Structure 1
Amino acid sequence: MTVALVAGFMTLLDVSIVNVALPSIRDDLHLSSSELQWVLSGYALTFGLLLVPAGRFGDARGRRNVFIAGLAVFTLASAAAGLATTATWLVIARLVQGAAAGVVNPQVSGLIQQLFEPKERGRPFGLLGATIGISTAVGPLLGGLLIQIFGAAEGWRWIFYINVPIGLAAIALGTKWIPGRAEEEKEREGLDPVGVVLLGAGVILLLLPLVQEREWHGQAKWLLVVAAAIVLAGFVAWERHLKGAPLVDLSLFQHRSYGLGAIIGLLYFGGFTSIFFTFTLLLQSGLHYSALEAGLAVTPFALGSAAASAIGGRVVNRYGRPLVVIGLIAVIAGLVGTDLVVDHGGWATAVPLLIAGLGSGLVISPNQTLTLAEVPVRRAGSAGAVLQTGQRIGTAIGIAAVGSVFFNRLAHHGGDWVQAFRTSLWVTIAFVAVAFVAAAADVFAARHDRASLPA
């Protein structure tokens, strides 16, 4: 579990740690705005693309070897990114990094399902939730710290170099500690190549206009979303009528806990990750904080998330989905509080961000535990990968929507960074509020089911 969580932390950290380094990368390699966008969003694109096929492959052929292979590629791509001398070199390294992260991550949730009995999974899923929340929130702090230590010109390279020794250690220890699978236990069924192609095409068509929202002008880009819907409908039809082992077991969505849990994850990640995108921009570009100061300002969220995730993982089996509802209420309260005090500067947001972080810790890991509770172990990797794909899509949708409101407000209201952030923050709150409605619906439905049981 230690090896799996460290690897998961490292791959998820690279989603957010690059944010504070973008000005340094732009100045050092003379990147255009489009190239800079690809450094940031290319990682998310290939990450989301590989999650489900890699999860299914790990289920069928054994998770350890897939985990080690993905980790090895991620480590090599990190070294290549740190050594980059041109924009093209860095973008390609980031695309490979993201693809490798997409291979590693579904094995982590699959290993939890494999190694722990259902009643024991709350604590490891709590640790996984803490890993997800902390890696996203603490990325700007670690990035700022590295730039502060090594300077603007070299600090951004160390953001990638730091993955190399950690990756090598994780490969060695993972090979030693993570159990393999006996040859006779491996599935001999096909791996559904048609489903892989259809899902991959659908995910690319959906994510491309979202991650390129600010670079591709005009409305024609949204036709790709329509095309994505058509391709994904074709994918669902193919999976439903496939004879053999499907890429995604669609019967999982017949379980209310899985279907609503996936929706909650998509919506919550649409809100929660966009906070750090706009808040970091406000602090560095609007309020002229250093990279380290910007990272420190979001640390209360990370601390709150870590503490609450550990608690949430221990008590989720006792309280169930109401725990997620409480967490979402706390996140909304913290974000509203942030809106009320941000006029007084980034440091004034410490307490409301701490409250939001505490709420976040009660959302991510308990939701993951509850959503995967009824999933059979043989489908654990692909089921967890579907959840993570939804989270990546939610992240892309949230950043596109919140970023669009943020930059439009900034352009049309005299460059007022604080007001631009406050306006976009309410889009974030809207995402979290809809996730709250989905969680509350699950709670009420469960109560109705219990009430209708014969005495």
Structure 2
Amino acid sequence: MAESAARAGKGSGPGAAAAGSGVPDPRRWKALAVCLVAGFMTLLDVSIVNVALPSIREGLDTPESDLQWVLSGYALAFGLFLIPAGRLGDARGRRAVFMVGLALFTLASAACGAARSSLWLVIARLVQGVAGGLVSPQISALIQQMFPGRERGRAFGMFGTVVGVSTAVGPLLGGLLIQVAGTAEGWRWVFYVNLPIGAVCLLLARRLLPDTPSAAPVRARDLDPVGVLLLGAGVLALLLPFVQTQQWPGNGRWLLLPLAAALLAAFAGWESRCGGRATQPVLNLSLFRLRSYGLGCLLGLLYFAGFTSIFFVTTLYLQSGRHYTALQAGFALTPFALGSALAAGIGGRLVGRFGRPLVVVGLTMVAAGIALTAFAVHLVPGAGAGWAMAAPLLLAGLGSGLVIAPNQTLTLSEVPVATAGSAGGALQTGQRVGSALGIAAVGSVFLAQVGPDGWATAYDHGLLVSVAFVLAGLIVALADVGTTRRGRKRTQEYVDAGRAEA
């Protein structure tokens, strides 16, 4: 694992170690807590709104098309800004970009809660997504910067806990807020709850987060605006057909995929030529030549396609098929969140010792847990399905904790700290693409099988697609383990041959 972050304390601002001392800042764990709370807020808003949609429909008389954009608009804006925001943080300073994003997110949350029309709410959600995209890549970059060696694994373990728990606990927390505040206005508190948390985080971020040692004033043209435009258009064309599956019937939407491929190819060509110009590329494509980074990004995309879709299809099954309330459905998913929270910290501590094989174990547990969840639903097909799936979901959650944080640590282990923001942004963009792909694929299979008595069968088919994505990630992880072992064997043979000649 790369140790370059050990020297990251050379910045002069709050939270930085003394220049040249090489001593990690004693406040780094407090700074991490600020980052994790902010990350929890931005990631929670991906899932918490799902259970609030009926309340929003009633409160604002919102059409289905606008409801879809309340969900997908946030995800789209979030995904579009991850890589440019990471590059901006690397160039101008991660603390500054983090604080701007957090302030914008807090204000946008207030605007969402105060919405008086569906158009108002959709626009506020788009702004909220942009703000979340500004904050998220700074967190992984700051972890790279603040923590050396094995401490970095622990920090990423905590971040992995946040990723897993925020995704799983969103329906439960949203259901609780709506239960307490009432269905008519309860949806507003799904957004208002961010205001005090965001305000406190802003105050603490100014005091605790470190400056970026490599940051310097830059002109707008130095931030690769052409690359940002090509990348943004390519990611938009790639994501839209998946997030709008239910609103754009027919096959015409898939014509955007060749356009996305062409735009992303143009982006790759432009970025490869940026090295010979004064402009720094928004994403250094040479990072993908690092096996740990390239395979880690692919594994993250595939895993998030399977991992995120579990919550989507399980919530649909329980609420629509078994007539659970939003709160009951949230409770049913809680074992996954608890398992993920427990195992993520452990995974962060063990990844330095075991490496990618730890991820292999986690992926195997997730695949087994999902398969057993489908089996449990057949054993207990009625209202008790939520109880029957508790143990399998706990197993899958424990496995997930051994995947997300360790994979993030391994993926970024060889990335230079100076480019940690854009590298982390690219990793998270892949995760967002995977989430959209998985929800679209699993949702389409699930809805195609739903009938008067076919909820359990539809759930089976949906989970089968989720398992397929997880197994594809497992194949990638096994390939990485095999390549690493062969490389070590060749190195040892070379060393042994040199000793024999001596």
What residue in structure 2 maps to residue 331 of structure 1? 366
How big is the shift at 1:258?
0.4
Are 1:167 and 2:198 matched, yes or no? Answer: yes
Are 1:405 and 2:445 matched, yes or no? Answer: yes
Which residue of 414, 417, 420 corresponds with 1:377? 417
- Which structure 2 segments of 5+ residues have no match? 1-31, 496-502
Q: How many correspondences in the alignment?
A: 452
What residue in structure 2 maps to residue 240 of structure 1? 272
Q: Is the helix fraction higher in 1 or 2?
A: 1
Q: Does structure 1 retain, via aligned residues, the 8 Å contact 2:159–2:405?
A: yes
1:294-373 to 2 correspondences below 5 Å: 294-343=329-378, 344=380, 345-373=385-413
Are 1:290 and 2:328 matched, yes or no? Answer: no
Cα 1:187–1:260 change in 2 (3 A) is farther
What residue in structure 1 maps to residue 435 of structure 2? 395
How big is the shift at 1:187?
6.1
Are 1:143 and 2:174 matched, yes or no? Answer: yes
What residue in structure 2 maps to residue 451 of structure 1? 489
More off after superposition, 159-168 vs 335-344: 335-344
2:101 counterpart SS class: helix
Deviations 1:290-317 (A, max 9, x none): 1111110000000000000010000100
Are 1:441 and 2:479 matched, yes or no? Answer: yes
2:389 counterpart SS class: helix
Deviations 1:211-246 (A, max 9, x none): 101111111111111100000000000101112411
What residue in structure 1 maps to residue 13 of structure 2? none
Deviations 1:354-383 (A, max 9, x none): 000000000000000000000000000000
1:224-239 to 2 correspondences below 5 Å: 224-239=256-271
What residue in structure 2 maps to residue 277 of structure 1? 312
1:239 counterpart SS class: helix
Q: Does structure 2 retain, via aligned residues, the 8 Å contact 1:118–1:373?
A: no
Match for 1:60: what amino acid? A
Match for 1:222: what amino acid? W
Are 1:198 and 2:198 matched, yes or no? Answer: no
Which residue of 25, 42, 62 corresponds with 1:31? 62
Structure 1 Cα separation of the partners of residues 210 and 38 of structure 2: 16
Structure 2 Cα separation of the partners of residues 300 and 431 of structure 1: 21
What residue in structure 2 maps to residue 255 of structure 1? 290
Structure 1 Cα separation of the partners of residues 433 and 137 of structure 2: 15
How big is the shift at 1:414?
3.3
Which residue of 28, 45, 48 corresponds with 1:14? 45
How big is the shift at 1:148?
1.2
Structure 1 Cα separation of the partners of residues 269 and 94 of structure 2: 28
1:152 counterpart SS class: coil
How big is the shift at 1:28?
1.7
Q: Does structure 1 retain, via aligned residues, the 8 Å contact 2:150–2:349?
A: no
Structure 2 Cα separation of the partners of residues 415 and 96 of structure 1: 41
Structure 1 Cα separation of the partners of residues 461 and 398 of structure 2: 23
Structure 2 Cα separation of the partners of residues 303 and 120 of structure 1: 23
Structure 1 Cα separation of the partners of residues 318 and 187 of structure 2: 19
Match for 2:211: what amino acid? G
Match for 2:468: what amino acid? A
Deviations 1:268-289 (A, max 9, x none): 0001001111111111111111
Are 1:96 and 2:103 matched, yes or no? Answer: no
Structure 2 Cα separation of the partners of residues 213 and 185 of structure 1: 41
How big is the shift at 1:185?
4.4
1:29-68 to 2 correspondences below 5 Å: 29-68=60-99
Match for 2:209: what amino acid? I
- Which structure 1 segments of 5+ residues have no match? none
How big is the shift at 1:416?
2.4
Give structure 1 regions of 4+ aligned residues with deviation exceeding 4 angstroms: none
More off after superposition, 186-195 vs 211-220: 186-195
Structure 2 Cα separation of the partners of residues 210 and 295 of structure 1: 25
What residue in structure 2 maps to residue 212 of structure 1? 244
How big is the shift at 1:143?
0.6
Structure 2 Cα separation of the partners of residues 51 and 185 of structure 1: 18
Deviations 1:65-92 (A, max 9, x none): 1000000110011111111121101111
What residue in structure 1 maps to residue 216 of structure 2? 186
What residue in structure 1 maps to residue 499 of structure 2? none
Structure 2 Cα separation of the partners of residues 52 and 23 of structure 1: 33
Structure 1 Cα separation of the partners of residues 232 and 107 of structure 2: 24
Structure 2 Cα separation of the partners of residues 181 and 328 of structure 1: 35
Which residue of 152, 157, 170 corresponds with 1:126? 157
Match for 1:128: what amino acid? F
Larger Rg: 2
Structure 2 Cα separation of the partners of residues 272 and 306 of structure 1: 15
Q: Does structure 1 retain, via aligned residues, the 8 Å contact 2:38–2:198?
A: yes
What residue in structure 1 maps to residue 115 of structure 2? 84
